[in-house]
Every structure is written in C-alpha cells, then in structure tokens.
C-alpha cells in the first residue's frame, strides 16, 4: 500500500510538472501583488485587520461548474486564482518571535482531486510563486489563534449569502462561518464595508505600469477582433458567427476569454443595451452593434463598434453614427487630469441632445434620455465596470470608457426612417496629465474608415467547412 501511495504521489508530481510547462510569462508578478498589499495596508486605520475572501464556485449544469473566476480584489492583492481561500492583512505586525502582517489560507493539496480538476498551489506554491511567508491550509482557519475583537476596525467586503456547505469547515461557506463566529458578526457592518470599498476604489482606479501593459494588450487584441469582423461581415452572416470570430481572435492572442458576455446585435437587437442572445441568423442590410472585449490575465477590454452589414452606411445610419462620433470627439477633448468625471456624461448628453433636435428626432433636450439612456463612461480594469470614485476627478493613469450611443427601436415617436438604428462607439481611454491615450485607436471609428476596413478581404471568408 505504501508503495502504491508513493507511486501515486510521484505520478501526480510528474503530471503537475508537465501541466505547468509553456505557461505565459507576462502574468502580474508576485512583487506587484505584494506592492498592492502594502498600498492597501498604508490606507488602513491603526489597529485594524482586513479580511478578503475568494469568490465561490458556481454550478453550470448539474455536477459541472462554470470556469472559475477569482474575486478581483483577492487576485489583485495575492495573485491567487483558486477558490476556498481567505486573506488577512494587518495594519501592524502580529506575534513576537515569528512576527507577520499578513496570512493567506489556501486550498489544501489533494492528489486524487487534482487528477480531475488540476494542480493546486497549496502552501508551498503560495510561498514560492506568490511570495507569501505565512500560509496555512483553509482547514486551519477555524482554529487559527486570532482575536478579531481586539481590533478597532475589521475591514471586509459584502459576503455572499447564497452559499451551500460541503459539510467541511474550509469551503467558502465554512470559512465565512468561522470568520463571523470569531469576529462576533451577525450581519454585515456598514462602516466595514464602506472602508473596504473606499480603499479598493482608491487603489484600483489608478493603474500601475504592469497593469497598463496588460490593459494595452487586452484592448489591442480586442481591436484586432473587431477589425476582422468588419472585414468578414456580410448580409448573410449570423450574430453567432460574428461573436465566434471575436472569440477565436481573443484566444489566438492568448486571452482567457471575454471580460463580459458579448453583445452582438443587428438591427433591432442593437437597440437592446445588454442584448445577449446573439442568435439572429442573418444581418441583411442593417447595422451590427458589437460590444465585445477580451479578458487577458484578468484585465478586461471594453470596445464597441457599429458597422453596416453590407459594408456601406445608409444616409440615416450615417447621420446617427456621425452624431455619436461627434459626441465622442467632444468628450475626448476634456479627457485629462482634473476634469470632474461627471462632466464626461454631461458633455456627451449635450452633444447628442443638440444633434437629435437638429435631426427632428426630439424637440426637448431632456428627451435625450429616451434614445441615450446610459452613462458615457465607467472605470475599466480587473472588472469591466471597475472600481473607482465616480464623484471625483480624472487622475493620471485612470482608464475609463467613452461610449455615447443612440438607440431608436421600432415604434419610437419619430420618423420611421430612423427605426431600428442602434449605434454605440466605445473606446478605452488612459488619462494623462494634459491629455489622453486612446488604447483602442487601432480599430477604426470614422464612418469612412469603417467602410474602408469592411472593403478588405477576410481570411475567415476564405475558410471552407462541410455542410451539416
């Protein structure tokens, strides 16, 4: 039996080593994550502790889970990508002989489970690859010697309430229960939640150089995908096929997937802000609105382009498109440090309202909300709607979207010639001291340039597949 266990362990080790070959080399470094923990600690009040949990796993179908996605705050602070984990960050050093100011609890290594779900980092992996000194298995959290009640402030995020227990003390359900018992928490404390939000908003809204590199990569490859669809699109293409081109390009360049469910809507579907079915079989001569961005090593792009399926804008389509483009251009002019973030939305609404009045679509500027019902900008990063202070001003190294849009569904109170025209143009903007950098500039925005891109030959249209 001992020989069998030894051979089994050696087999798992061999599989683990082989499975870790040829990995990307541009993940965030352990020094980055350590620096983020230090920055977090610097913003904590005296005699406080922060508690950060991983996200739960979620069921996709029966006994199959969705691909796991880590809590962005946990990933930001640790680099750890597995579930059932908890991080403690202390303002001051704890203990005496072996003093520490942070502790990470991780999923325990399990040879039989790793055959099915992949290699786990475990304690040693968290130390060597993530740079932690004090690491324990999750099962040790329940009995870990910590008196939460001695701290003046416990800082934590809102905890999920819909978790199921696997009857252990160290799945996410068990970790949360242990924390609440240790800390004497019966319901989430509002001031603790606000403290966590304020600290993470402050940190994550300003991107470091390492983050900027990943953001440029994820946005650039998203632009390549948009451009390839522009070349390949035609009246007989389906929404699903267009989405598939995006997915292929993203993975071709090493992205793990998309940062949010793709929105690929033609005609009337483009007038649905968060349209997600993407199942229309033909585009005919309508506009195709594509809001699709890759997720590369945790960082999400968010790019929208609206293109004519037949390669040429009609006069009505062109008029609406140009108005959205003009609104974007006016917003770009104030994209620099010091501008109140709310001004981006105000400016875009002003331009679009004036334009819709000129086209005879509305009479009162207040009615702009009928055809432009969303905001102009949001922060972008580890979440597609990233953390940040929307009531503040633009600061250097923030990344935000600029995405005005006009959506005129059928039966709107305007001339029928405008019906089912939906246009959004969305770009990802890095803020500088006196200007901005358009990270998504490689995908054309001017209607003339969109038509030129659409006239180019597509590799995808040359592919031949058997009929089914």
How many Cα neighbours within 13 Å face the side chain of 429? 29
Q: What is the pTM of this model?
A: 0.94
Contact (Cβ atoms closer than 8 angstroms) between residue 369 and residue 376: no
pLDDT at residue 322, as a whole number: 98
SS (H, E, C) 398-438: CEEEECCEEEECCCCCCCHHHCCEEEECEEEEEECCCCEEE
Q: Which domains does the chain have, with CATH numbers?
A: 22-204 (3.40.350.10), 209-462 (3.90.230.10)
pLDDT band at 3 (very low <50, low <70, confident <90, very high): low
pLDDT at residue 376, as a whole number: 98
CA distance linking residue 410 with residue 223, whole number of Å: 30
Contact (Cβ atoms closer than 8 angstroms) between residue 200 and residue 14: no
Tens digit of pLDDT for each residue in 404-442?
A: 999 999 999 999 999 999 999 999 999 999 999 999 999
pLDDT at residue 21, as a whole number: 74
pLDDT band at 164 (very low <50, low <70, confident <90, very high): confident
| Active site residues per annotation | 63, 274, 291, 302, 374, 378, 385, 403, 407, 424, 426
DSSP annotation of 363 reads S
Mean pLDDT of the chain: 95
pLDDT band at 455 (very low <50, low <70, confident <90, very high): very high
Tens digit of pLDDT for each residue in 106-152?
A: 999 999 999 999 999 999 999 999 999 999 999 999 999 999 999 99
Mean pLDDT along residues 161-176: 89
CA distance linking residue 196 with residue 157, whole number of Å: 6
Whether residue 344 has pLDDT greater than 70: yes
Whether residue 30 has pLDDT greater than 50: yes
């Amino acid at each position: 039996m001992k020989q069998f266990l030894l051979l089994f362990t050696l087999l798992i080790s061999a599989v683990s080593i082989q499975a870790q070959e040829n990995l990307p080399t541009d993940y965030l470094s352990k020094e980055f994550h350590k620096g983020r923990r230090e920055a977090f600690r610097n913003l904590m009040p005296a005699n406080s502790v922060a508690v950060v949990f991983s996200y739960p796993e979620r069921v996709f179908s029966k006994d199959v889970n969705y691909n796991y996605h880590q809590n962005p705050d946990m990933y930001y602070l640790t680099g750890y990508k597995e579930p059932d984990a908890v991080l403690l960050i202390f303002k001051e050093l704890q203990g005496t002989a072996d003093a520490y100011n942070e502790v990470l609890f991780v999923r325990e290594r399990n040879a039989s489970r790793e055959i099915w779900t992949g290699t786990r980092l475990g304690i040693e992996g968290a130390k060597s690859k993530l740079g932690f000194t004090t690491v324990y298995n999750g099962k040790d959290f329940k009995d870990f010697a910590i008196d939460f009640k001695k701290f003046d402030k416990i800082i934590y995020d809102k905890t999920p309430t819909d978790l199921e227990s696997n009857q252990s003390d160290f799945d996410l359900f068990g970790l949360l229960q242990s924390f609440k018992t240790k800390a004497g928490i019966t319901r989430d404390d509002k001031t603790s939640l606000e403290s966590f939000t304020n600290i993470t908003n402050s940190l994550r809204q300003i991107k470091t150089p390492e983050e900027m590199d990943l953001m440029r990569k994820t946005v650039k490859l998203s632009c390549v995908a948009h451009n390839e669809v522009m070349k390949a699109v035609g009246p007989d293409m389906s929404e699903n096929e267009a989405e598939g081109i995006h997915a292929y390009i993203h993975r071709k360049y090493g992205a793990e997937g998309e940062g949010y469910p793709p929105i690929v809507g033609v005609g009337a579907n483009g007038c649905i802000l968060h349209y997600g079915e993407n199942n229309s079989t033909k585009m005919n001569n309508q506009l195709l609105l594509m809001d699709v961005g890759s997720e590369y090593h945790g960082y999400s792009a968010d790019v929208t382009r609206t293109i004519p399926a037949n390669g040429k804008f009609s006069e009505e389509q062109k008029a609406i498109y140009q108005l959205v483009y003009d609104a974007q251009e006016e917003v770009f002019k104030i994209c620099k440090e010091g501008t109140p973030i709310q001004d981006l939305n105000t400016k875009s609404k002003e331009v679009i309202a004036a334009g819709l009045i000129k086209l005879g679509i509305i009479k009162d500027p207040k009615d702009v909300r009928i055809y432009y019902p969303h905001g102009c900008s949001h922060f972008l990063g580890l979440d597609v709607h990233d953390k940040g202070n929307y009531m503040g001003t633009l600061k250097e190294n923030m990344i935000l979207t600029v995405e005005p849009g006009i959506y005129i569904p059928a039966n709107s109170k305007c001339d029928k010639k405008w019906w089912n025209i939906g246009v959004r143009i969305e770009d990802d903007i890095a803020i500088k001291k006196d200007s901005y950098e358009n990270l998504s500039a490689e995908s054309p925005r001017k209607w003339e340039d969109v038509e030129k891109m659409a006239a180019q030959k597509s590799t995808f249209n040359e592919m031949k597949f058997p009929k089914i």
